[in-house]
Amino acid sequence: MSVAPRVVMYSTAVCPFCARAEQLLHARGVSEIEKVRIDLDPARRAEMMEKTARRTVPQIYIGDTYVGGCDELFALDHAAKLLPLLSGEAV
């Protein structure tokens, strides 16, 4: 049995897309999301922009895989690729 990968989400305090992404992840069995609040820490905002080349939130990582934002997360789920990624089965 594989270990579920760590889920990291760059977010801000008031972000409806972050909330939607979090709801989907919880609905798919994710119990813990490591939230990085870029509105509280400018250095983490710079880190996010360097890693993702994006300025918007959320920006989501599942394990070492960069998923993207809310739309990409929902597209991954729609394509039936989210659960394998969350279970650690995806390559």
Reference 56, options 5, 16, 7; nearest CA is 16
Which of the four pLDDT bands, split at 50, 70 and 90, describes residue 73? very high
Asked if the model's pLDDT at residue 66 lies above 70, the reply is: yes
Q: Does the pTM exceed 0.75?
A: yes
Q: What percent of the chain has pLDDT over 90?
A: 91
Q: Which CATH architecture has domain 7-86?
A: 3-Layer(aba) Sandwich (3.40)
CA 59 to chain centre: 6
CA separation, residue 69 to residues 2, 23, 30, 40, 72 (Å):
25, 14, 17, 19, 5
